[in-house]
Amino acid sequence: MADKTLVCRDCGTQFVFTQSEQDFYTEKGFTNEPSRCPSCRAARKASRGDSYGSGAGRGGQRQMYPAVCSRCGKETEVPFQPTNGKPVYCSDCFQLERGGGASHGGYRSRRY
Ligand SMILES: [Zn+2]
Ligand SMILES: [Zn+2]
């Protein structure tokens, strides 16, 4: 067994089906060799929807919304639509808010 060179059926690029990928395929029980180059595969994966109908379960990446942290003013992204009047925190501040400032270590981080 050795690396194989295959030709992508989408873009015609030659790509290497490496030994380790072959092992991976065998392990997963896939009998077909990949018919597309890695970039075409990634592109198909990204634009999922028409060929793979069932949207249930694994949704891939979450939609992120741009927001400005209500605490430090930093630009951030949150996994939900920010609503007016509701505070939005960046990940740092979210942890601070969550951890509560009342614990014993509180003083240190406030000193600048
Ligand atoms: Zn391709
Ligand atoms: Zn913040």
| Ligand nearest to the Cα of 73, by number | 2
| Ligand nearest to the Cα of 35, by number | 1
Any idea which of 9-13, 26-30, 43-47, 102-106 has the lowest mean pLDDT? 102-106
Q: How far is the CA of 68 from the centre of ligand 2 (A)?
A: 8
97-100 contacts, C-beta under 8 A, 24 or more apart: 97/71
What would the pLDDT profile of 73-112 be if each residue is shown by its tens digit? Answer: 999 988 888 888 888 998 889 888 888 655 554 455 555 5
User: Beta-carbon neighbour count of residue 70 at 10 Å?
Assistant: 14
Q: How far is the CA of 56 from the centre of ligand 1 (A)?
A: 28
Q: How far is the CA of 15 from the centre of ligand 2 (A)?
A: 44
| Global model pTM greater than 0.75 | no
